[in-house]
C-alpha cells in the first residue's frame, strides 16, 4: 500500500476569481459542519488516468477546508492488475469470464491491502473495482464507506457484475457519473449522481504563456502553422486510437497539411496499454504528421495543456466512456470536441453548440473537416464549451457534492 503524500498546496480561496465568492463561501459553510472529520481515498494508481489526476487535486482541496485526508494506493502483482483490467473491461460490456484462480487472486490482494491501509477514518472512498472487495475483510467497520464508480456501467457483463455486486451492496453510498450507470438491483443506502471534474488551476488546465506553448510544440516537432487535431486518452480498446487515425486519414485527403496528436499517460495499473500502443503505432506507420505522445517522452500536464490549446479540434472516439475528462479539459480551453455519443460524453458535448456528437468514423471526419474550414464558428463553439464546463464540471462543484454526501451520511 502506497501512502500518497507529495501533493501541491491548494486553497479554496484561489477559486474565487473563477466560481465567485458566494460559491466559495457556501462550500466553506458545509465544511464547517465536518470540521476535524477524516477521509481516506483508495484507488489503484498514483499517476496515469483520470482518477489519479482528480485525486491529486481533490485531496489537497479537502485538506484545505479542514478535513483530515489520506490517499492510499493499493499494491498488487501483474496478475492482479490483469484481473482488474479484465473486470474493468467486463463492466463496460466485454464478454469475459473470470476463472476461479483469477477470483482468488483478486480477493487475496484485496485482503492484503485491507490489512495495510489507513481505513480507520470517518469516511472511506473506494474508487472503481480494483479495491472494491476490501470492505468484506473489515467486518467490524463503524465508519462510512462510499464506492465511487468512474466507468460506463450502462451494459455490464452480468456475470462479472454479479461477482462484484455483493461487495458494493455493503457500502453506505455509491457515486455514479450518470443515472444510466446505476444497476437497478444494487442496494446501497444512498446513491449520488455526480460527474467528475477538472481543476482549472492545475498545470493541465491553467492559462499558460504563448511562448511556453510554442516551445513545447517545437520540442515535439509539431508545426503551429498547420491545423492540428488531437485525442487525449489511454491506449486501450475503448478509446479507439486506431479509429482516430482513420478519421485523420479521411480529413487529410481534404486538408493535406493537417497533423494528428495522440496523447496518453501509460498507467501502471493498465498492463494492456503497451499492446494497444503497439497496435496504434503499427496503424500509424511512417506518417510523420502522426505524433504518439506519452509521459515516457516527457509529456506531462503542462505539455498536454499546450497540445490541447494548440488544437483546432479535439476528438474523443471512445466506444465506451465513463465520462472522459479530456473532453472537459478541451472545452475549458475553448476547443470544440467531436466525440462519439457514448457514456458520459453527451453530458459534456451539446451537439451543434460546443462540438458534435457522432457515431462513426466518417461522421467524425465530416464534422472535423467542417470545423477546420470554419474557424470562427469553431472558436464560438469553444467559448460555449468553456461556459458549460464552468457551470458543471469544476472541482469546486465536486468538492461541494462530496461534503453534502458526508453530511448526509452522518
385 and 403 in a single domain? The answer is: no
* 260: phi then psi, degrees, rounded to nearest 5: -120, 130
20 and 151 in a single domain? The answer is: yes
Instruction: Report the C-alpha gap between 409 and 145 in whole angstroms.
Output: 9
Residue 205 lies in a domain: no
Residue 204 lies in a domain: no
For residue 389, is pLDDT > 70? yes
Residue 108 lies in a domain: yes
Residue 202 lies in a domain: no
Instruction: Decide: residue 215, CB within 10 A, 0-12 exposed, 13-18 middle, 19+ buried.
Output: exposed
pTM above threshold 0.75: yes
For residue 80, is pLDDT > 60? yes
Return the CATH number at 375: 3.40.50.2000
Instruction: Report the C-alpha gap between 245 and 243 in whole angstroms.
Output: 5
- What domain range includes position 285? 210-392
309 and 292 in a single domain? The answer is: yes
Distance of CA 128 to the CA centre of its chain: 12
Q: DSSP letter for 180, please.
A: G
Residue 216 lies in a domain: yes
pLDDT digits (tens, 9 = 90+) for 214-266: 999 999 999 999 999 999 988 888 899 999 999 999 999 999 999 999 998 76
Distance of CA 313 to the CA centre of its chain: 20
pLDDT digits (tens, 9 = 90+) for 254-306: 999 999 999 987 655 566 676 888 899 899 999 999 999 998 889 999 999 99
Number of structural domains (the chain) is: 2
Instruction: Report the C-alpha gap between 394 and 331 in whole angstroms.
Output: 12
In percent, the amount of the chain with pLDDT more than 90 equals: 83
The whole-number average pLDDT for the span 310-336 is 95
The whole-number pLDDT of residue 3 equals: 63
The whole-number pLDDT of residue 53 equals: 86
The whole-number pLDDT of residue 275 equals: 80
322 and 182 in a single domain? The answer is: no
- b/e sequence 159-182, b meaning 16+ C-beta within 10 Å: ebbebbbebbebbbbbbbbbeebb
The C-alpha cell that represents 213 in the structure block: 506553448
The whole-number pLDDT of residue 120 equals: 87
Mean pLDDT (the chain, rounded)? 93
pLDDT digits (tens, 9 = 90+) for 45-68: 888 778 988 999 999 999 999 999
Residue 212 and residue 302 in contact, taking contact as beta carbons nearer than 8 Å: yes
345 and 398 in a single domain? The answer is: no
Amino acid at each position: 500500500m502506497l501512502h500518497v503524500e507529495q501533493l501541491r498546496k491548494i486553497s479554496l480561496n484561489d477559486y474565487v476569481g473563477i466560481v465567485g465568492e458566494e460559491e466559495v463561501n457556501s462550500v466553506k459553510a458545509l465544511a464547517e459542519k465536518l470540521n476535524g472529520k477524516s477521509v481516506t481515498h483508495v484507488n489503484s494508481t498514483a499517476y496515469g488516468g483520470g482518477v489519479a489526476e482528480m485525486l491529486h487535486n481533490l485531496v489537497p482541496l479537502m485538506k484545505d477546508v479542514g478535513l483530515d485526508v489520506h490517499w492510499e494506493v493499493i499494491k498488487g502483482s501483474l496478475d492482479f492488475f490483469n484481473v482488474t483490467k479484465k473486470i474493468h473491461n467486463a463492466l463496460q460490456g466485454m464478454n469475459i469470464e473470470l476463472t476461479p484462480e483469477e477470483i482468488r487472486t483478486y480477493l487475496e490482494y484485496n485482503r492484503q491491502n485491507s490489512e495495510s491501509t489507513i481505513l480507520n477514518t470517518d469516511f472511506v472512498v473506494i474508487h472503481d473495482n480494483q479495491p472494491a472487495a476490501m470492505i468484506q475483510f473489515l467486518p467490524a467497520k463503524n465508519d462510512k464507506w462510499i464506492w465511487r464508480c468512474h466507468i460506463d456501467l450502462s451494459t455490464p457483463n452480468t456475470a462479472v457484475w454479479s461477482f462484484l455486486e455483493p461487495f458494493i451492496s455493503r457500502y453506505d453510498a455509491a457515486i455514479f457519473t450518470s443515472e444510466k450507470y446505476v444497476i437497478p438491483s444494487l442496494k446501497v443506502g444512498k446513491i449520488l449522481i455526480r460527474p467528475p471534474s477538472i481543476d482549472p488551476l492545475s498545470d493541465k488546465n491553467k492559462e499558460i504563456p504563448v511562448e511556453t506553448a510554442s516551445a513545447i510544440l517545437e520540442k515535439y516537432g509539431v508545426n503551429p502553422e498547420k491545423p492540428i487535431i488531437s485525442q487525449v486518452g489511454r491506449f486501450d480498446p475503448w478509446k479507439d486510437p486506431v479509429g482516430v487515425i482513420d478519421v485523420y486519414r479521411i480529413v487529410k485527403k481534404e486538408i493535406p497539411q493537417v497533423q494528428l496528436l495522440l496523447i496518453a499517460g501509460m498507467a501502471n495499473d493498465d498492463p494492456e496499454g503497451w499492446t494497444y500502443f503497439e497496435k496504434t503505432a503499427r496503424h500509424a506507420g511512417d506518417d510523420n504528421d502522426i505524433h504518439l505522445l506519452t509521459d515516457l517522452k516527457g509529456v506531462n500536464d503542462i505539455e498536454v495543456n499546450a497540445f490541447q490549446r494548440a488544437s483546432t479540434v479535439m476528438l474523443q472516439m471512445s466506444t465506451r466512456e465513463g465520462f472522459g475528462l479530456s473532453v472537459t479539459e478541451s472545452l475549458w480551453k475553448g476547443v470544440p470536441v467531436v466525440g462519439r455519443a457514448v457514456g458520459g460524453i453527451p453530458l459534456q458535448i451539446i451537439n451543434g453548440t460546443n462540438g458534435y456528437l457522432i457515431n462513426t468514423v466518417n461522421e467524425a471526419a465530416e464534422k472535423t473537416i467542417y470545423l477546420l474550414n470554419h474557424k470562427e464558428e469553431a472558436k464560438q463553439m469553444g467559448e460555449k464549451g468553456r461556459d458549460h464546463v464552468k457551470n458543471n464540471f469544476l472541482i469546486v462543484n465536486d468538492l461541494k457534492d462530496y461534503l453534502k454526501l458526508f453530511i448526509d451520511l452522518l
